[in-house]
Amino acid sequence: MGFLKKIVDSIFGSAEGEVRDPDGIFLYVKCSRCGAPIRIRADKRHDLQRDYDTNEYILRKEIMDGTCFSLMQATVRYNAAYQVVDREIEGGEFISRDEYQELTAPKPEREEEAGGPESSEDQADETD
């Protein structure tokens, strides 16, 4: 069944690149100053520090928001299976991958732009 799940994952994917990137760990954060969503890739082999006392991994990452250039400092602890056991961030907040995709998705055009004849009633509100 693990085999089948792998196929399903590779077809439907989790997010772009993550399936083909087994050493990548992805963080999703939001800048607390301007609200910009940021995705950060860390590498299991290079970016994680082993904590031999607890058998956990520690990821410390400085994140520069490309929008307002504020600096965030994230610290995430993983267990031996690379599951998050603890995390904290200064200057921002963690968001889920779904939230990230929602925030970065192109905004659909407003429906009036598509030219529905029914929308003409709304013009009554546009007075200066």
Site residues (CB under 5 A) for Zn ion?
31, 33-34, 36, 65, 67-68, 70
Rounded Cα–Cα distance for residues 16 and 18 (Å):
6
Strands (E), 14-83: 24-31, 37-43, 48-51, 56-64, 71-78
Cβ proximity to Zn ion: between 13 and 35 the closer is 35
Give which of 26, 62, 20, 23 is closest to 43, Cα–Cα. Answer: 23
Cβ proximity to Zn ion: between 29 and 65 the closer is 65
CB of 42 to Zn ion, least distance (A): 20
Rounded Cα–Cα distance for residues 12 and 110 (Å):
29
CB of 96 to Zn ion, least distance (A): 19
CB of 38 to Zn ion, least distance (A): 8
Which residue has the closest beta carbon to Zn ion? 31
Cβ proximity to Zn ion: between 8 and 34 the closer is 34
